[in-house]
């Protein structure tokens, strides 16, 4: 567990202790703020992990989007013209890991793709392999956590964010979208996006978004950033602004073009160049900011403190307590299989 503050129970407070533990005024410079620098240096040294999952029908630009997000050929798929795309008969889960570095900060990025999702004629239960994968990562972490002698840094393969690509029909969410998001938003941070949004005019986008928001509300689907986890009113204001704009209408591109003398990432069509990083053209910058620049740590925290915890609680309640105690160590193998 991350650092926990132990508060003495009210009855036990000695009479002469300071009743106000917060708001103590310092009459000189102590240097507490230097801890931020220490944390920063440490983070830079150790680097951090981020696990992203992308889900959606084939052809919605998932791989391109990932490449655009991390400005590198992260996605395994070659995007050359001679490439034959084969739709697998069942949903596969493919993870690739890269280490990318920016200004001395290292990030171990794992992207999990889900080819075959929603592509068949009968897509019943096509979400099951995905749910299974996510739970398996929680299970892996749990097993490491309950060991007697634990690793200093437990490898974290848990999915921190699942980006769901909604096709830009402009109408409303399809039954498949609703079924998937309803189930997955309970176990992972779900970030829906409107894929290939360059097919919608600005008006159509706004209407589509409104309908999607209504749909999500009607079905009780809570997408990231979830309202329940706003820490304080500042967070709520910031997150409300984000929630208002979700799902983001995104366009992905990994080719550069010349626009006004600058090299811009975009798509060149007969009627103009769609600039991916131009907020007037699409909301890709908002998605990038959310996933990487502002809420990356929050995504990890919520995954750890909320989703993982509820998985852990579920497992502890299911299995026999004795089998799980530190004395015995690992969970019995048969118990694990029966629950998954």
Residues at the site binding other proteins, with contacts judged by CB under 8 A: 57-61, 81, 85, 87, 119-124, 167-172, 174-176, 178-179, 195-196, 198-199, 201-202, 215, 218-219, 267-275, 280-281
Closer CB to other proteins, 275 or 298, in the complex = 275
Token pair, residue 162, equals 């699942």
Q: How far is the CB of 242 from other proteins (least distance, A)?
A: 22
Q: How far is the CB of 122 from other proteins (least distance, A)?
A: 5
Cα 327 to chain centroid distance, Å, stands at: 35
Closer CB to other proteins, 151 or 263, in the complex = 263
Q: In what helix (H) or strand (E) does residue 46 lie, and over which residues does it extend?
A: helix 34-46
How many Å apart are CA 200 and CA 42, to the nearest integer?
Answer: 45
Closer CB to other proteins, 61 or 247, in the complex = 61
* Residue the block writes with tokens 């096709």: 167
Q: In what helix (H) or strand (E) does residue 313 lie, and over which residues does it extend?
A: helix 309-318
Closer CB to other proteins, 12 or 85, in the complex = 85
Q: Can you say whether the dihedral through the CA atoms of 80, 81, 84, 90 is positive or negative?
A: positive
Token pair, residue 91, equals 């949903």
Closer CB to other proteins, 95 or 123, in the complex = 123
* Residue the block writes with tokens 């944390």: 39
Q: How far is the CB of 179 from other proteins (least distance, A)?
A: 6
Q: How far is the CB of 266 from other proteins (least distance, A)?
A: 9
- Residue 117's nearest CA partner among 88, 94, 96 is 88
Residue 195: phi and psi, rounded to 5, are -80, 155
Q: How far is the CB of 286 from other proteins (least distance, A)?
A: 15
Q: How far is the CB of 198 from other proteins (least distance, A)?
A: 6
Token pair, residue 4, equals 């926990």
CA distances from 171 to 179, 200, 207, 211 (A): 17, 11, 8, 8
């Amino acid at each position: 567990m991350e650092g926990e503050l132990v508060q003495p129970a009210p009855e036990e407070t000695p009479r002469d202790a300071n009743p106000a533990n917060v708001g103590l005024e310092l009459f000189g410079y102590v240097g507490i703020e230097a801890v931020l620098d220490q944390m920063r240096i440490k983070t830079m040294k150790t680097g951090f992990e981020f696990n992203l999952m992308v889900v959606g029908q084939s052809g919605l630009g998932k791989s391109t989007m990932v490449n655009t997000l991390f400005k590198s050929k992260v996605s395994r798929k070659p995007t050359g013209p001679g490439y034959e795309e084969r739709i697998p008969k069942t949903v596969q889960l493919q993870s690739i890991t890269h280490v990318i570095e920016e200004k001395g900060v290292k990030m171990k990025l794992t992207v999990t793709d889900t080819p075959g999702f929603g592509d068949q004629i009968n897509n019943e239960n096509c979400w099951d392999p995905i749910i299974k994968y996510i739970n398996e990562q929680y299970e892996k972490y749990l097993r490491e956590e309950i060991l007697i002698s634990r690793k200093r840094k437990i490898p974290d393969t848990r999915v921190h964010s699942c980006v769901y690509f909604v096709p830009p029909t402009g109408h409303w969410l399809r039954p498949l979208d609703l079924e998937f998001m309803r189930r997955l938003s309970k176990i992972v941070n779900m970030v829906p996006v409107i894929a290939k949004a360059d097919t919608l005019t600005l008006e159509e986008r706004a209407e589509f978004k409104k309908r999607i928001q209504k749909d999500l509300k009607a079905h009780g689907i809570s997408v990231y950033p979830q309202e329940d986890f706003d820490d304080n009113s500042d967070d709520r204001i910031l997150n409300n602004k984000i929630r208002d704009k979700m799902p983001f209408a995104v366009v992905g591109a990994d080719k550069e073009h010349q626009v006004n003398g600058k090299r811009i990432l975009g798509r060149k069509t007969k009627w103009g160049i769609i600039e991916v990083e131009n907020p007037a053209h699409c909301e890709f910058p908002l998605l990038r900011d959310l996933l990487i620049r502002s809420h990356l740590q929050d995504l990890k925290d919520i995954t750890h403190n909320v989703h993982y915890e509820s998985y852990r609680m579920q497992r502890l309640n299911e299995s026999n307590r004795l089998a799980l105690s530190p004395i015995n160590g690992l969970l019995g193998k048969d118990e694990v299989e029966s629950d998954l």
